[in-house]
Amino acid sequence: MSSPILKLVAQRIALGILLLLAISVLIFAGTQILPGDVAQAILGQSATPESLANLREQLGLNDPAYVRYFHWLGGVLTGDLGTAMSSGQDIATSIKGRLWNTLFLAFWAAIVAIPLAITLGLIAVRYRNGWVDKLISGLALASTSFPEFFIGYLLVYFFAVKWQIFPAISTVYDGMPFGERMQAIALPATALTLVVLAHMMRMTRAAILNVMQSAYVETAELKGLSAFSVIRKHAFPNAIAPIINVVMLNLAYLIVGVVVVEVIFVYPGMGQYLVDHVTKRDVPVVQAVGLIFAAVYISLNIIADIAAIVANPRLRHPK
Amino acid sequence: MSNELEFLSRRVASGKLSRRDFLGRAAALGITAPFANALLSSAARAAGPVKGGTLKAGLVGGESTNSLDPALMMTQVPFAFGKCWGEMIVELSPDGKLENRIAEDIGSSKDAKTWTLKIRDGVEFHNGKTVTAEDVAATLERHSDEKSKSGALGYMKGIETIKASGKEVVLTLKEANADLPYLLSDYHLIVQPNGGKDKPDAGISAGPYVVKTNEPGVRHGGERFANYWQGDKMGHADQIEVIVINDATARTAALQGGQVNMINRVEPKIVDLIKRVPGVTIRNHAGPGHYVFIMHCNTAPFDNNDLRMALKLAIDREEMLTKVLRGYGSLGNDFPINSAYPLFTEIEQRKYDPDKAKFHYKKSGHDGTVLLRTSDVAFPGAVDASQLFQQSAAKAGIKIELKREPGDGYWNEVWNKQPFCASYWGGRSTQDQMYSTAYLSTADWNDTRFKRPDFDKMVLAARAELDEAKRKQMYHDMAVLVRDEGGLILPMFNQFIDATGAKVDGWVDDPHQELMNGYALAKCWLQA
């Protein structure tokens, strides 16, 4: 097989890296146009012109922007994200813990959400236009339409305050026993699941329904396969590319878009970390987090592309 | 005393009945309030502190950018955690007096220029070393150094020399200051080994708890320090934990769900709802904090005292207190001092008077609108308060134009820069500190640009005066000057509103800061 596939994959990855570089320029430019500068933010109300000048000198803020950009990029490529200006801590170290927490939450939310969404999608197709289909679609769409914070507060109200099954706050820490950790993330993971469920479910349903119109599905039906077997063996494999795409998009959302849920459940992830440092104008941290988010987004998209290629027999077996 | 009353007071002591309910029932039994209160405190004392357990606080005011360096403490979480692991030279007691801690005795020369701190014997740091005069001196030196960026730097600049000899630390001041012991109670001045000069954020001091976990912006934890020098008074729980919960709803839910035993900053608008939750007690108490509208006395049109007076008369304080603070506060009188300060004197309350306001407004000759900048971050409810101000002023014929500024950058771009805006002050522990921080001509934070040489002289004179009666009169005169000629519109003093969950005992209201001046975790205990 597959020099064409390898070539395609290599192309995608190269494109991704190029895109990431372009984004790094954007992030850098974006942080430069934020109002106020870091020196002023650090000194705050007590800033005097003299101490401002000293601090700017010390932080190298007087160099031209492109010099600082390449300096920063060089650091990133060698794994050195710099130190946070506000607290003086090493960024890479602090991000590691936070990123792990975010991935942990996203992982468990995904483990629940993806199979659930796809199964519900399959069921909806099987009973399409019946009341089961309408119920599933209705509930999923409703849960997606509510803002995240509303779902979050509802969950807290019932599960934490009224029935006291799960804790209201999801503070996790190093060395926390696995069981406790799972209990702590139960509510935020549920909230995230509800938020991403409908998108994936509806996409699965639409993609499979599309395939169901094909002649070979009719053939399968005519040869007497049960409805679920038709969907599982013939329709689903052919609908997998768009499903993977939407799953990856939602995965990316679970990692980079969970600020609100993190705040509500007091979960120490990347989103909260980013917000804290944006308000402090801690540019190195903002840049680092921005870049990591971009990298996650791009790599998940590359994976989606590649999976779609691999799942397509016409690309797998070219003439 | 009836058996019923005794039973009830025990129930309050064990947290099964709220204080308010108790007083209500006591009144029904024909008992006067003071007697009922005395009964209560004796019941609580009889129950006594219980050792053990883990006390947890869910607090707003922590960021991932926090550090354990006491010099850099600014927000509520480092402040409250600092009171757990740190030990102070001297502290303010809940009744406003001085309480000696590491300093056993503080004495001054007659001119209040030379001060001697006698260091207590046998106080131990968490690292096993004994606290010496050198450590105290080094701490003060570090906070006097510009490089430390200490929040206490402003006061520390007034100290000329710091010398340790034997068991004493001798301070000489540039100018006489009768309030020096109060300044030394500043929460930044946590005594560290060698003053923290070696490693400022090591988190080692001589407080009741040893730092065990420190995850800025997430949680901080401590374990009881076995050799704490006054273990009978503080450090009742085996462990304490501060969990950062910046979201108000999450904080309340955590208290209701029992994940934390106490929270700070309950919003006035939900206090009545929370009160009904079983086991939860609201702990509200007056403090020196206040919400203000500030005008620059040196910028047109606010350089005209008639216009300033017109605006002061055009604000409906009572309405603002009931609508914005829901009654959890007290009326302001356009000077930054209230009964939370020692040496406070009452001055006639200024009232909403549209007619008088109209008169002064006309006299000022100002025409057109007055621009007021406001923001959600200025104080909770600031935008609503500004709108109320706009309406009450309109009745006096004064047009106020509101400009809502983004919260991000408000303290850099608007406060202390623009001539008229909403803001807040947390207050200070003495009148001298408050006036020196924001009303001296030379003060960096003179946010009303109140620059009056005669006032400056009064501040310095009062600072050096050791006779209390004379001092009281001086502060009265200063207050009148600020009230009638300054740029401060102070409609209300806010209260600290904390809440505790079931089983928390040992709470004592403290007017200086929220959470019993930060000591709630160290001084409260969990009932067995």
Residue B23 has pLDDT above 70, yes or no: no
Residue B188 CB-density burial (10 A; 0-12 exposed, 13-18 middle, 19+ buried): buried
* Averaged pLDDT for residues B278-302: 92
CB of B85 closer than 8 Å to CB of B209: yes
Q: Looking at the complex, does the CB of residue B282 fall below 8 Å from at least one CB of chain A?
A: no
Question: How big is the CA angle at B339 (ends B336 and B343), to the nearest 5 degrees?
Answer: 90
CB of B343 closer than 8 Å to CB of B472: yes
pLDDT-based confidence at A155, cuts 50/70/90?
A: very high
Q: What percent of chain A has pLDDT over 90?
A: 24
Q: Could you read off the pLDDT of B180-210 as tens digits, one per residue?
A: 999 899 999 999 999 999 999 999 999 999 9
Q: Tell me phi and psi for residue B500, to 5 degrees.
A: -120, 155
CB of A38 closer than 8 Å to CB of A61: yes
Q: What percent of chain B has pLDDT over 90?
A: 64
Q: Looking at the complex, does the CB of residue B443 fall below 8 Å from at least one CB of chain A?
A: no
Q: How many C-beta atoms surround the C-beta of residue B247 within 10 A?
A: 21
> Cβ of B249 and A156 within 8 Å?
yes
The residues, ordered by sequence, that sit 6+ positions from B291 with a Cβ below 8 Å of its Cβ are B324, B332, B378, B379, B382, B385, B422, B423, B424, B490, B491, B492, B493, B494
* Averaged pLDDT for residues B325-330: 92
* Averaged pLDDT for residues B428-446: 88
Alpha-helical segments (H) within chain A: 3-33, 38-43, 49-59, 65-77, 91-126, 131-145, 148-155, 178-212, 215-222, 227-229, 236-256, 259-264, 270-279, 283-311, 313-316
Q: Looking at the complex, does the CB of residue B270 fall below 8 Å from at least one CB of chain A?
A: no
pLDDT-based confidence at A227, cuts 50/70/90?
A: confident
* Unique residue bearing structure tokens 């199964």: A119
Residue A102 has pLDDT above 50, yes or no: yes
Q: A46-55, B231-240, B455-464: lowest mean pLDDT where?
A: A46-55
Q: Could you read off the pLDDT of B153-167 as tens digits, one per residue?
A: 877 888 999 999 999
Terminal Cα distance for chain A, rounded: 11
Closest Cβ opposite residue A266 in set B250, B256, B411: B250
CATH superfamily of A100-271: MetI-like (1.10.3720.10)
Closest Cβ opposite residue A36 in set B146, B257, B409: B409
* Unique residue bearing structure tokens 């650090």: A42
Please report, for chain A, the start and end positions of each structural domain, with discontinuous segments joined by +. Answer: 100-271
Q: Which residues in chain A touch residue B416, judged by CB atoms under 8 angstroms apart?
A: 45
Cα-based distances in Å from A312 to A241, A242, A243, A307, B52: 8, 11, 13, 9, 65
Q: Looking at the complex, does the CB of residue B249 fall below 8 Å from at least one CB of chain A?
A: yes
Q: How many C-beta atoms surround the C-beta of residue B458 within 10 A?
A: 17
Q: Which residues in chain A touch residue B63, judged by CB atoms under 8 angstroms apart?
A: 276, 279-280
Closest Cβ opposite residue A40 in set B65, B245, B412: B412
* Unique residue bearing structure tokens 């590649």: A306
Interface of B with A in 51-80 (CB under 8 A): 58, 63-67
Q: To probe the interface with B, which of A50, A169, A262, A270 has the most B CB atoms within 10 Å?
A: A169
Q: Which residues in chain A touch residue B58, judged by CB atoms under 8 angstroms apart?
A: 169
Higher pLDDT, A216 or A38: A216
CB of B90 closer than 8 Å to CB of B169: no
Q: Looking at the complex, does the CB of residue B215 fall below 8 Å from at least one CB of chain A?
A: yes
Chain B residue with CA closest to A168: the answer is B254
Chain A residue with CA closest to B277: the answer is A161
> Cβ of A36 and B412 within 8 Å?
yes
Residue B510 CB-density burial (10 A; 0-12 exposed, 13-18 middle, 19+ buried): buried
Residue B323 has pLDDT above 60, yes or no: yes
Q: Which residues in chain B touch residue A276, judged by CB atoms under 8 angstroms apart?
A: 63-65, 217
> Cβ of A168 and B413 within 8 Å?
no
The residues, ordered by sequence, that sit 6+ positions from B180 with a Cβ below 8 Å of its Cβ are B106, B108, B112, B115, B171, B173
The confidence score (pLDDT) of residue B17 equals 64
> Cβ of B65 and A263 within 8 Å?
no
Helices (H) and strands (E) in chain B, counts: 19, 19
Question: How big is the CA angle at A223 (ends A220 and A226), to the nearest 5 degrees?
Answer: 70
Q: Which residues in chain A touch residue B376, judged by CB atoms under 8 angstroms apart?
A: none
Q: To probe the interface with A, which of B153, B247, B263, B375 has the most A CB atoms within 10 Å?
A: B247
Please provide the average confidence, as pLDDT, over all residues in chain B.
89
pLDDT-based confidence at B141, cuts 50/70/90?
A: very high
3-state secondary structure B40-103: HHHHHHHHCCCCCCEEEEEECCCCCCCCCCHHHCCCHHHHHHHHHHCCECEEECCCCCEEECCE
Angle between helices B248-256 and B268-275 (to 10 degrees): 10
The confidence score (pLDDT) of residue B43 equals 58
> Cβ of A266 and B243 within 8 Å?
yes
